[in-house]
Amino acid sequence: MSAVIRRTREELEAQRVRLLEEVHMSEEKLRERAAFHTLSPRELDVWHTIEDIDFLLSD
């Protein structure tokens, strides 16, 4: 059986900020590097997680 993880909007927003801080990049810089396929494996993982968070936060 799969586990369900529940997070509040505030928790997701805080996680997003922490992820960007971990890779020492602004969202714009991360997005730019993703577009040019120049992310390290860790940065790519952060990029995909941020995309997932943005999907969950979209109205």
Digits of tens for pLDDT over the chain (59 positions)? 788 888 999 999 999 999 999 999 999 999 999 999 999 999 999 999 999 999 999 97
Residue 41 forms part of a structural domain: yes
User: Residue 4 domain-assigned?
Assistant: no
Residue 42, in any domain of the structure:
yes
Residue from 2, 23, 6, 40 nearest 50 by CA: 23
Q: How many CB atoms lie within 10 A of CB 30?
A: 20
- How high is the pLDDT of residue 9? 95
Question: What local confidence, expressed as pLDDT, does residue 1 receive?
Answer: 74
Question: Phi and psi of 37, rounded to 5°?
Answer: 55, 45
Domain that holds residue 46: 9-57
Please report whether residue 19 resides in a domain: yes
Indicate the number of domains in the chain.
1
| 2 within a domain of the structure (yes/no) | no
In a domain? residue 27? yes
pLDDT of residue 35: 96
Alpha helices in the chain (DSSP H): 9-22, 27-35, 41-57
- pLDDT at position 10, please? 96
Indicate whether 44 belongs to any domain.
yes
The verdict on residue 1 lying in a domain is no
Predicted structure pTM score = 0.86
